[in-house]
Structure 1
Amino acid sequence: MTGFRAILRPNLAVNIAWLTQQRKLSAEVDFNLSANHYLKLNYNQHDLLSNRPNKTFNQLEYRYFNRYLSLNLQSKQTKKKLHTDVQLRTQITSSLSTYFNVSDKRKKDENSQEYEFKTIYNRSFYEALTVMLRQKHNTTHLDYYASYRYFCDNCFFPSFLITEQTQYKFKVRYDKKLSAAALMSVELNPNIKLTAEVSDNSFSLSSKIQYSFKAYKEQRWYAKSISPNDYGYAAIKGVVIDSNGKPIPDIGLSVYRHKTQSDENGHFTIEGVSVNDNIPLHIDPTTLDVSYQPQFNPLLMNTEEGGITFVTVHLDQIVGIDGYIVNFNGDPNASITFLNNRNQVARSYKIEGDGFFIIEDLTPAEYTVTYKTNTQQISTPWIIENNQTWISNIEIDVGCIDKKELCELDIN
């Protein structure tokens, strides 16, 4: 494969390659229309890591986002099918958001669409109401769905019964007929959990009790119960939130083989985790919105035997930057690096011949910005604030008295 890359404008990049084996021309265009718009076009692209690396596809990706609205459009075409997904998200208030999703699948002899509209009202950190309408692929009727959830600590008859956590959940669904279900679960302590669930035609009461004992022999055999603090496993409970403290649902999380997803309130629980230091909690990147990035992935934790580890997973909004080195000397090895002082993640970019640079996948944080050439290496602190999405046309001025030592950076 041979090709070239051209920066036609500060916000426009073109990659063109010749695929020798397929004898096809491949192209990619990246276009930042403005601070909040991004457009990407792929023609005859191929995935070298897939089990069919010679299979090519065409792809269109467009996204727009600000603090109130985000629009994501992805369309992928192969020889056999065309799949298009559109998601529109609006943040009406700090507690009220709406989602509208359209999925369109087209094959040679079959076309189908799926529509989904969802509204989430977070009255507080512990309380949320979700209303959803959905028409699935290859169906003609609508599903109506409503869910109300409430979490609280020690709120189940607190006058005479102390609990670890209580959860109330009520669901109403209409799918040709109306149905309803309610659930209440009470954790009396980390080892005893009671759950009652009732629906139109059923009622269930269940309990979960964790108990352990050991058998050992000295002069004769003994059996002895083990304190919950001596159990050889632990549980992880937490919540996924953005930089403004808003819970984020449907985020995939895992600890080794244990997997789960955050619910409508951003809460998640993983049980049966081994006891150790630096246990990795992984965030599944395929479940993240394109405008979010975790502060740490994996997030390392210390678990305690028989105990519960509480954790908050922070997702930051992705920020992009483009700009110029004002007095660029044309050094072909010049680069600029943004080092996140919080998690020590660095993003670097080779300066173009005209002094232009562009860096994506940054997050709000304090940074150390380093400009490096064959003869210079200069650093300066810089801060990206919350609620910024794209910072355009920043100017970096390299001021030097001595070419090697007495230099400083000014960022405007």
Structure 2
Amino acid sequence: MPAQPRTAYHDTDRERWVQESGKRVGRTAFERDRARVLHSAALRRLAGKTQVVVPGETPPDGRQVPRTRLTHSLECGQIGRELGQAVGCDPDLVEAACLAHDLGHPPFGHNGEEALDRAAASCGGFEGNAQSLRLLTRLEPKTFDATRSVGLNLTRSGLDAVLKYPWPRREGVRTYGVYEDDIEVFDWVRRDAPEGRRSLEAQVMDWSDDVAYSVHDFEDAVYSGRIDLDRLSAPSERAEVFALAARRYALAPEDELAAALDRLLATEFWPTGFDGSRRAQARLKNTTSELIGRLCLAAESETRDFFGPVPGVRYAADLLVPREARLECAVLKALTAHYVMARADLEQLRARQRAVVTDLVEMLAAGAPDALDPALRPDYEAAATDAARLRVIVDQVASLTDDAALALHRALGT
């Protein structure tokens, strides 16, 4: 049986890197964390960053307004808030982490992330999750200590809840949550935390992220006509989807993935016969709600069955997600990846985006410090090594929206 859960947050959980005084009475520390993320410029910039469909790209009929990183983060926050509260977490703390989890992602989605990682090789690479921590603790202007910006100065628990990968870069491990430059604050955040283990709040954030983008991207793809649900009975189509799911999202045999898809197809809310009518749109929206409830309730029930009615906070419990739910989530992701992201007509666009990111790093380096944003010039001038200077340039490129990256590329190239 699990140990007696810790159901309350301690003073160390609410501690900030720079202690603050004189704040208005009546709000909790975690309500302040949520407000700081919600009002940040970094969150607003996500409106112009790729989720799956490029912002501004509209299907031929013009009906759809596809999701961006911002709308995804807001929806993730709503899912995480309710799931977190159901398993004993502070809802404002979990929502703040959900809102913040994608702040460090660069222009052009994961395509831009891969290009920026290669361009940043000599300063330790680029990882969107590590960039989120850097932005929250250094780049986003809100609070200063005696020498420099400390970002939004969130609580220890707030920062820990954002750490999807609570470890530095390791040989052979693609994902990580902190650059070497930011180890000092990372160690402060992780004080007394079990090495390599994510807090319950971070686990809720991560599953909420998976649920949000798997379900909402599927909804967008069906609405835009990019997924023809009638084709899912064809063996060849199914085989391609399952192969992609196993390769990217879940190491599982085809028969398990097929069973996961068949469970979804057999539900009474599956959006068969979508024709774009108002009634069909309502049915599709109901599908979205039902899928979110199905995946979240599976995790809530499994967790509460094992840890008790109030599982706990921080490291008192883990979020337990049944394998069946994870495979259903993986199949939903694979459907969107196969029918939307793997489209052959997008490869030329992706190549152009990668070139823009690579060029921007080179052009900003050639024109620094004058070519840099005024907020970053002092960091560049204070940098003692070429690697540190490159990291500042990477910070600027990562902050750009898709359109801003294209505009800056044009401006620097003239």
Higher relative contact order (CA 8 A, sep 6+): 2
Q: Report the structure, 1 or 2, having the larger helix content.
A: 2
TM-score range relative to shorter protein: under 0.3
Q: Report the structure, 1 or 2, having the larger strand content.
A: 1
